[in-house]
Each structure stands twice: as structure tokens, then as C-alpha cells.
Amino acid sequence: MALRSRLDVWRSWQPGHAPALVVIPLGMIVTVCVVDVLAPPHIHLGPLLVAAPAITVAFAGARMTALMGGLAVSAQVLIGILRGVLPTANIQAQIAALIVVSLVCVTLCMVRDRREQQLQRVRSVAAAAQSVLLRPLPTRAGPLRIAGLYIPAEEEADLGGDLYAAARTDHHSTRLLVGDVRGNGLAAINNAALLLGAFRAAAHRQATLPRLAVHLDAAFRWDTSQWRPEAEQDADEDFATAILLDIPDHDPVVHLIACGHPPPLLLRGDHLTPLMPEASHLPIGFGGVFGVAAYDVQTFPFEVGDLLLLYTDGVIEARDADGLFYPFTERAPEWTKDDPDRLLRLLHDDLLAHVHGHLDDDAAVVAIRRLAL
């Protein structure tokens, strides 16, 4: 605690992200003082000294602001002494006004710093929650190299309704879930946490993908409706589009079930193939009522060297200032030879450049490359 208090005191004296800016109020104080002393008697620049503490608030802590206010007041007093007008009511009023303005600036700076500390604590809690909710994907699972990317729509947010997760099974395969929960805000985060928890609890032990899909749907529907009155059961449905995959270690294929979710993209060399299932099932929250038989598993080749991209609609529906969608299927083949981590870094920068840094919806992408065993 003693070390932390010393650090807080030190930071309060330090300029913010642009320490060179401290030259501005210092230069203003010196310039006004010199010019006012050398100027004719009818010219008074002393009132301009009030700008020194006001400017300092923008980039420094409370103590640095107080220091600039003190220097400004001292400069005003020095001007009064050198010009022989210190006893006059005018110069005394200017000094008093400068003291009041400096105190107000220091107070505002303290309030701002306190709120920034509170915001930093909230962000640290959000980061901790994200690490628990949206755990990083394993970089290696059997013969697979995996990387995940999540970009929240809300600036400075860490959590949203898009999700992904992976699990190893006892029969030497890797299962993955990529989904997009309806809505946004806390309700979407709650439903995303529910779906991720259900997947992690069951993905490794459910014998087939259809059974896993039924389990996820039942868990989702039960939790989102258990406290809702019967009259409101159909008033505000909760659901999530999702895609479930099972990738065997020793068989160069991928098994998948699509529940209203965009199809994965398979990249082989420079060739891109959307893995379009014969039928897209109802989203999670609607489909499990029809039982295991309602889910058809589609199987596609997934050979050594192939790259698989799973994504949410926040990627393909991202628009630029002219309303043009992000050309995901055109850009992805350009990065086929990159490893999954580098591919997602390039995609992240390219996507944000397309939308000028502002997404209208959360975006998530998972890149999977099959390597030789």
C-alpha cells in the first residue's frame, strides 16, 4: 500500500501521455510575465495567466495543475511588484481570480482522476471476466493449429454476444463451437456465458454432434425461460446462431452442424470453398425440441495444409462509410499461406481499416489449420 501511494503521488505530478506539453503552460507564464513587465503601462496581459492551469488540466495530474496555478499566481504577483501596482485593487482582484480559477482546475482534475481510477478498476474486472468467459483457444489440439479473434462493437468493451470454444474428446477429436447470441448488452453476455458453459460441460462426453446440439438447445431454453411467466414465453425469444464442428485427428475430414450460422470457409492453396451444408437447422433455442433426429451432420474434406475459417456475421456484414460490405471472401485467400495467428492479425487490421475503426456488431473469427501428425 505504501508503494502504491508513492506511485499515485508520483503520477499526479507527471504529465499524461504527452509530457512535452508541459512546455506550453510554462512558456505561457514566462512569456506573459516578460511581455507584461516590458509593455507600456496601459497594456495588461496578466489575465492571460489563467490559461496556464486550465491547459494543464488536459494532460497532467492534480499536483502538476496546482504547481502551474501557483506559478501563475507568483508571476502575477511579480508583475504587480515590478510595475509598482501590487497595492491596487485591480491587480489584487486579478490575483484573487487567478487563485480561484486554479483551485477550481485542481478540483476538476482530482474528480477526473478519481473517475479514471474507478474506470480502470471496472476495466480490470471486465478483463478478468472475459478471461473466464471467453477463454483463449488452445494454440494446438492434436494435428490442428488454432487461433481465435474477438472484436467488440462497443468501444472499450471487452465482452459481447459472439463466442467461441474448443474441447478435446476421448475419441481423439477436437470439437469447436462458434456462435452469435441474439441482442447485445448484459442479456447477450449472460446468454453467451450460458451457452459456453453448456458446451464446456458436455462437448467432451456427448457421443455425437446431434446429441451435443440437443443438449445445448435444451440447456439454453431451460435457463432463459425458467423464471419467465408463461404469458411471456413467446414475447421476447432468446436464441443464438451457432456452428458445431468435430475434427478427427486421424481422418482428414470435418463434421459439422450449422444452426442458422454462416458457413465456414475452407481455403486450400488459393482456392476458397464455402462449406455449405445441405440444410441449416434452427438456431440454438428453437431447434432442440425436435430431438436428435432433426440434426443432420455434414462431412467435408479437411486435409493436411488446409485452412478453415469460422466467423460470425459481424465480419461479413461490416460496412464502410459508403455502405459496402467487407469483402471477406476476397481478402481471405490472400492470407492462406500465413499461420492462423498472423492471418487473424492481418484480418483484424484490415477489417477495422474497412470500417474506419467502428464496428456496428461484434465480430469473432476462428482460424484452424490441419498439420501432419
pTM confidence score: 0.69
Instruction: Measure the CA angle with vertex 170, ends 371 and 173; round to 5°.
Output: 25
Block mean pLDDT (10 aa), the chain, length 373: 44 51 88 86 84 88 89 90 87 90 92 85 67 83 94 64 91 94 76 89 84 90 67 62 95 94 92 88 78 86 96 93 92 89 94 89 93 88
47-51 long-range Cβ contacts below 8 angstroms, 24+ apart = 47/94, 47/97, 49/73, 49/75, 49/76, 49/98, 50/97, 50/98, 50/101, 51/25
Alpha helix ranges (H) inside the chain:
2-13, 23-38, 51-56, 62-82, 89-133, 185-202, 209-225, 313-316, 328-331, 340-354
In sequence order, which residues have a C-beta less than 8 Å from that of residue 258 and are 6 or more positions away? Answer: 243, 277, 280, 281, 298
CA–CA dist 219, 195 (Å, integer): 8
CA–CA dist 283, 257 (Å, integer): 11
Hunting for cell 442479456 — which residue is that?
A: 187
Hunting for cell 478498476 — which residue is that?
A: 121
CA–CA dist 59, 194 (Å, integer): 42
CA–CA dist 124, 103 (Å, integer): 32
pLDDT in tens, 316-364: 999 998 889 999 999 999 888 889 999 999 999 999 999 988 888 889 9
Give the largest CA-CA distance in the chain: 98
Identify the pLDDT of residue 221: 83
CA–CA dist 277, 117 (Å, integer): 50
Q: Which of 262, 237, 284 is nearest to 332 (CA)?
A: 262
Tell me the percentage of the chain whose pLDDT exceeds 90: 41
Identify the pLDDT of residue 15: 44
**Mean pLDDT, the chain, integer:** 84
In sequence order, which residues have a C-beta less than 8 Å from that of residue 325 and are 6 or more positions away? Answer: 316, 317, 318, 319
CB 182 within 8 A of CB 240: yes
Q: Which of 364, 303, 367 is nearest to 335 (CA)?
A: 367
CB 207 within 8 A of CB 215: no
Sort 90 into a burial class: Cβ within 10 Å, 0-12 / 13-18 / 19+.
exposed
Identify the pLDDT of residue 19: 63
Identify the pLDDT of residue 1: 40
Identify the pLDDT of residue 138: 93
CB 267 within 8 A of CB 306: yes
